[in-house]
Chains A and B, each alone.
Chain A
Amino acid sequence: MFKLFKPGDLVIFIICFFSIILIFINFYRVPSGSFISIENNNQTKEYSLSSKSVIELEGITIEINSGRVRVVKSSCKNQYCIMQGWISKLNQSILCLPNLTKISIKSNDNNITHDSTAY
């Protein structure tokens, strides 16, 4: 029988596997400076990820709990925003167009790279 995999393939697989894992870890790492930004009717408000609260805006109710955010209630027709469930990773977002609302997880930590610290 022909061997489907040869020893060298294993090496390549291992390298690819770890590369993919590394990329994902880097991609989804939530930096400590992250916060929740809620844009509603051209107004943007920021909330701490660690807070625990229910925010009632016009037509939409948003819940923040242990580092996650979701839409609990919405006056929109399709309820896509509710179906999206929780988001908790950096740069994830929930859109609810009928309510002109965008909820996203942002970070200002991306900018905190600096060469030196003055004190």
Chain B
Amino acid sequence: MFPKKLLKNYSSILVILLIFLVNSCAKSDFYEHKALVYGTVLEFKFYKTDAELSNKAIKQVINRLNTINKQFHPWKESEISEFNKNHQLKYTDDSFIKILSKAKYYENFTHSLFNPSIGKLINLWGFHADTIIGNIPSENKVNIILNSKPSLNQLLITKNTITTKNKELEIDLGGMIKGLSLDIANEIYEELGIDNVLTNFGGNILARGKPNNRYWEIAIQNPLDNKLLLAKLKLEPGMAIGTSGDYEKYFLKNGSRFSHLINPINGYPIKKYSSATVLITPQEDAGIKSDVLSKPVIFSNDLNKTRDDLNLDYFFVTTREKKILISESFLKKVEWLFEKDEFDVQTF
């Protein structure tokens, strides 16, 4: 039934077919990995990078982020929690001060619209918890904190201690940790000689290099419906993008939405805009900027002025009334993915 010769012939055809099949679903040039660190989803997408090297990088990044969380986690056990309780701390590592100095720099750069010293206010609204229940504080309590004008400039830093006289000052670097983590990951890639990788930490993305023949392409989630996409764009090597939105952490009370994005000027959650997205061109601190600069944008009273103040070209805000206000330069870069007329797009 199966003449040996024929079998031989057919098996060679089969082998060729198999090779073809295996090749067509060939080993991808991409290596993807997801991890969870202190509640933040980390996503790595390496292009043409040795799997072992990729895993080494991921491990180093996670180690660093664990260390940072042990230093700065605002409500779990950390050095900063200890400082917030006692208003003084003997810090263990110089990296601690380096990060605080960065935060201070950006607090001043954003005229305190990114203010890492209002941890007490954020806690007052009930956002220092794994599960947010929420609490609307009395005006009086809010004002006591605001009147003390909390600022990292009120810190007294010596060789191994930090102290402050302002008892209302509590540090919360939640507004820059994701971005800082991106820059740290980027340093690790640099050290290991990894050239092409897309890193997404809790929704903030940094592009390093690019896959062959194309740029990294990312989509932006629709702020009003997390199952939908709002826009798509290409990230050139070194670009970073970040969004602050009222859909991330919030609670609902009396039919109103209270976001964790507390305006440091008036002490109340953001109402005017539902999200702010900023695109940072390749530069130092691109990761941090993609995180920190979305705050002055979302709290902005005048987007044109904010653009000049921050020297920021690419950003947009959205409202719950389905309006998008976008800078002209950014408009040229995005491709909208919503159904026609779903959002009213205007430039400023």
Contacts and interface: CB of A to CB of B under 8 A. Distances in A.
Contacts of A6: 6, 10
Contacts of B242: 118
Interface in B209-254: 216-221, 226, 229, 232, 241-243, 245, 248
Contacts of A118: 200, 203-205, 218-221, 241-243, 277
Interface string A4-32: 00111001100100000000000000000
Given A8-B10, A118-B204, A112 B1 contact: no
A117 B198 CA distance: 11
A111 B335 contact: yes
Contact of A116 (B7, B200, B339): B200
The SS class assigned to the B binding surface is strand
B232 A114 contact: yes
Interface in B30-51: 43, 45
Contacts of A46: 340
A119 B1 contact: no
Contacts of B216: 115-116
A116 to B, nearest CB: 5
Contacts of B337: 33, 108, 112
A75 interface: no
Interface residues of B, number: 35
A5 to B, nearest CB: 12
B2 A112 contact: no
A113 interface: yes
A57 to B, nearest CB: 18
A8 B6 contact: yes
A92 interface: no
A12 B9 CA distance: 12
A12 B13 contact: yes
Contacts of B17: 12, 15
B181 to A, nearest CB: 15
Contacts of B10: 6-8, 11
A111 to B, nearest CB: 7
Nearest to B47: A115
Interface of A: 6-8, 11-12, 15, 33, 46, 48, 108, 111-119
Interface of B: 1-2, 6-7, 9-10, 13-14, 17, 43, 45, 198, 200, 203-205, 216-221, 226, 229, 232, 241-243, 245, 248, 277, 335, 337, 339-340
